[in-house]
Amino acid sequence: MHATPRKAVIPVAGLGTRFLPATKAMPKEMLPLVDKPVIQYVVEEAVASGLTDILFVTGRDKYALENHFDTSADLESRLEAKGDQEKLDLVQAPTELGNIHYVRQGGAKGLGHAVNAAASFTSDEPFAVLLGDDVVEENSDLLKTMIAVHGKTGANVVALVEVPREEIHKYGCIKPAGPEVDGVIEVSDFVEKPKTELAPSNFAVIGRYILNPGIHELLAKQEPGAGGEIQLTDALAKAAREKLAGGVVGVVFRGERYDAGDKLEFLKATVLLATKRDDLGPGLMAWLKDFVAKSK
């Protein structure tokens, strides 16, 4: 068995340009899905998967996010005075989610650069990376499965979703080294946003990773790639092709997942989460049915 990751790195230093103007002064990770910021779902998932130390890689103007995971003495004492325990619990929940740490990326120079800003935090241990705007269904065991696969193989582990052929050009795609066995695929290479006819598979990479400490060395040497940024995928491609830092395997995820940094996906996630709630679901479903019927 290989060492079990305890630490999670959550990069949140991106500019969120797809969501302007909402993200001009507010981090996109703080946009609410129903009544909870996207980032809280991500941190809850990390903690539920057994990760105890969370490092946010932040940038400028991310104070709202830092405040969300800190105590709010004034608000808490007002709610206490009112005897509103239910709301007090909601306010206190994010502060009780494990040990939270911060490091500044020093400029949005790419996801690979953000992950490398965590090098001294993760040190010589394997660690998880969760993208701060990628949401998977609540109670999903994706991350736990990835940790188990890492324990067995010692490889870097990426999360994969199977997408329709005509959509693969929007994603980072893997080249499989063999067939899927029990939901796991060995990866021999990655292709960023391939043309449909050139895509080596229909498996797209999503924002969950278990990485070996050796990835930092590859990232440190990595030249800027797409968009002039240091890309995590480029370092993983090298690890996969040359079997470095433990090589790469993929875990196929067949549950619900949303890129909350994309407007349409964000809307879908909002509706999905709201329809699952007892307080909002029935009212929203009834309205949706009526709305769709009238829109025909």
- Contact positions vs ligand UTP (CB under 6 A): 11-19, 29, 57, 105, 108-111, 113-114, 131-133, 261
Q: Decide whether 129 or 147 has the Cβ nearer to ligand UTP.
A: 129
Shortest distance, CB of residue 233 to ligand UTP, whole angstroms? 11
Q: How far is the CB of 56 from ligand UTP (least distance, A)?
A: 9
Residue 154 or 225 with smaller CB distance to ligand UTP? 225
The structure tokens listed for 177 are 């080294």
What is the full DSSP assignment across 21-35?
A: TTTSSS-GGGSEETT
Buried/exposed 59-90: b ≥16 CB within 10 Å, e otherwise:
beebeebeebbeeeeeeeeebeeeeeeeebee
Nearer to ligand UTP, 257 or 284 (CB): 257
Residue number of the CB closest to ligand UTP reads 14
Q: How far is the CB of 34 from ligand UTP (least distance, A)?
A: 19
How many angstroms separate the CA atoms of 162 and 275, rounded? 25
- Minimum distance of ligand UTP from residue 287's CB (angstroms): 30
CB atoms within 10 A of CB 215: 29
Instruction: Indicate the residue among 116 and 201 with the shorter CB distance to ligand UTP.
Output: 116
